[in-house]
């Protein structure tokens, strides 16, 4: 029997009525990926805009006529349950929080994410619910500071 994940899917742009529950096989993590059992996810403004397909120019990278990736959600918090080859930042049992990015899929029971993506160790002082809602602003900013500005610990701007 294949293990399955539960998720929310949207197959065409529109209102929240377009959301439908789906079941899919749990993916195996590939090289550099961690499989995360999601304990909490958030619904952000970006999630609503993706579901609606707005602003319309965003469809150039989301999918012109329908969403390129049907599973929704960007913000999550959970626990690493498996790792692929070459994963060094995280181990099974680590609590993490982060963003799924433009592949979406965080409003699900499980997700595979690249360890080099927007994924961080969850502070013990935060619940999974608190960590999931922290993703949209602070983690997005942190990712831009690291990846675009190439800012490192101890540096300023």
Helix, strand, coil fractions of the chain, as percent rounded to 5:
25, 30, 45
Rounded CA-CA distance 94/157 in Å is 32
Answer yes or no: is pLDDT of 143 > 70. Answer: no
User: For position 140, what pLDDT does the model report?
Assistant: 64
Distance of CA 49 to the CA centre of its chain: 16
pLDDT tens-digit map of 50-105 = 899 999 988 998 899 999 999 999 999 999 999 999 999 999 999 999 999 888 99
153: in domain: no
Sheet of strand 110-114, all strands in order from the earlier edge strand to the far edge: 110-114, 33-42, 75-83, 95-99, 119-121
Which structural domain, as residue segments, surrounds residue 74? Answer: 12-147
Looking up residue 39, the CATH number of its domain turns out to be 3.90.180.10
83: in domain: yes
Count of structural domains, the chain: 1
pTM: 0.85
Output phi, psi for 10, to 5 deg: -135, 120
């Amino acid at each position: 029997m294949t293990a399955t994940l539960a998720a929310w899917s949207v197959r065409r742009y529109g209102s929240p009525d377009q959301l439908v529950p789906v079941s899919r096989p749990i993916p195996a993590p590939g090289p550099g990926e961690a499989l995360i059992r999601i304990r909490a996810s958030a619904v952000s403004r970006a999630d609503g805009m993706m579901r609606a397909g707005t602003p319309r120019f965003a469809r150039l990278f989301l999918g012109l006529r329908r969403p390129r990736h049907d599973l929704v959600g960007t913000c999550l918090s959970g626990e690493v349950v498996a790792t692929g080859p070459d994963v060094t930042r995280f181990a099974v049992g680590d609590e993490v929080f982060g963003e799924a990015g433009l592949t979406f899929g965080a409003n699900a029971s499980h997700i595979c994410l690249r360890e080099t993506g927007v994924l961080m160790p969850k502070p013990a002082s935060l619940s999974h619910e608190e960590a999931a809602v922290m993703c949209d602003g602070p983690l997005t900013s942190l990712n831009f500071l690291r990846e675009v500005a190439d800012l490192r610990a101890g540096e300023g701007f």
